[in-house]
Amino acid sequence: MANILAVAETRGGELRKVALEAVTAARALADATGAQVHALVFGPAGIGGKVEAVAQHGADQVLVCEHAAYDKADAESMSATIAARAKDGGYRAVVMSASAQGKDLAPRVAAKLDAPLAGDVTSVEAAGDTIRVKHPTYTGKVITTLVLTGAPVVVSVRPSAVTPSVNARPLATQAVAPASDPAASRVKVTEVFAGTSTKLDLGEAPVIISGGRGLKAAENFKLVEDLADAFGNAAVGATRAVTDDGWRPHSDQIGQTGRLVSPDLYVACGISGAIQHLAGMRTSRTIVAINKDAEAPIFKIADYGIVGDVLEILPVLTQAVRAARQSH
């Protein structure tokens, strides 16, 4: 049976967690038919020495594409390389993450291969000659099962939808050259603004503390940040109302038109629960809501609710979380 090609994402010369999610999804797909997983990794010189985890998570072969330009993403040459490799290797499917980078690459790869693309899926399985995926549609209010025919097909997996699992193979690497010269790419990254490196990204954080209008003022987000610090593994999110008002950057917005997240724990602080917001976080595993209005829709989807003034409750909760973590 034809093998699976995974794309294992890097940024700034380091593997990302979503890389291992893509490899894990590819491994499951390959195991259904006794096929192999080949994982393609782009990065600057030296990235080939950092791919052990890719083999650990089930790649039979790690294809390393090193180029000085790949300390940043270069969608044109990377997509050309993925497509060329997919063609040469006769793969059944190309699996990547539906991260910002993956969402940029996947449709280009699919068009180059004249292959169907299922973007941002939450599960993928082999079904006879076809590939079947589940994909949240209508802002998560309808779950659609799609069937992709032909080979190859392209699938991008929603970040955090797949839990990376170890399924170790001996590390076998092979160098691959870019299929087109990154210097010839028409779209150039001229600048990268790294986020504050100490902060976790919303897509990767196991805990998200999110604030809404109930916080009353931008400076009160300090209380949200304090609670995130207390957890130690939390990122800070916000509602659209708050990002529209400029209290927080647009990139922090969780909702229908912002980030779609599913952390282990989501704490909604002063958030009433507009449908636009719920669309972005309703798949979180555990939801906590703190809001002064007991009738707020957020309480309908929250596992645990506290009714009251978020400005009063947050400092107490922060202290209690710190104490709980210290007693471990």
Q: Whose Cβ is closer to another protein: residue 127's or residue 217's? A: 127
- Which position among 2, 32, 171, 307 is part of the footprint of another protein (CB under 8 A)? 307
The SS3 assignment for 170 reads coil
CA distances from 194 to 133, 201, 247 (A): 33, 11, 20
Q: Which is nearer to another protein, 61 or 262 (CB)?
A: 262
8 A C-beta contact, residue 65 and residue 176:
yes
- How far from the centroid of its chain's Cα atoms is residue 316's Cα? 32
Among 43, 58, 89, 136, binds another protein (CB under 8 A): 136
How far apart are CB 216 and another protein at their closest, in Å? 17
Q: Are 41 and 62 in contact (CB under 8 A)?
A: yes
Concatenate the DSSP letters of all residues of 245-309 into one string: TTSS-GGGBBSTTSB----SEEEEES----HHHHHHHTT-SEEEEEES-TT-THHHH-SEEEES-
d(CA 75, CA 68): 14
Of positions 2, 31, 71, 140, contacts another protein by CB under 8 A = 140
Tokens linked to 245: 């008002």
x/- map, 239-278, another protein, by CB under 8 A: ----x------xx-x--xxx-----xx---------xx--
DSSP classification of residue 200: P
Tokens representing residue 43 in the block: 């990065």
Interaction of residue 33 with another protein, rule CB under 8 A: no
Using the rule CB under 8 A, is 324 a contact of another protein?
Answer: yes
The minimum distance between CB 298 and another protein, in angstroms, equals 10
The pair of three-digit structure tokens given for residue 58, joined into one six-digit string: 């089930």
By CB under 8 A, the residues from 159 to 188 that bind another protein are 159, 186-188
Answer yes or no whether residue 222 interacts with another protein by CB under 8 A: no
We find the least distance from the C-beta atom of residue 306 to another protein, in angstroms, to be 4
Q: How many residues bind another protein (CB under 8 A)?
A: 100
Examine residue 238 and tell whether it contacts another protein (CB under 8 A): no
Interaction of residue 115 with another protein, rule CB under 8 A = yes
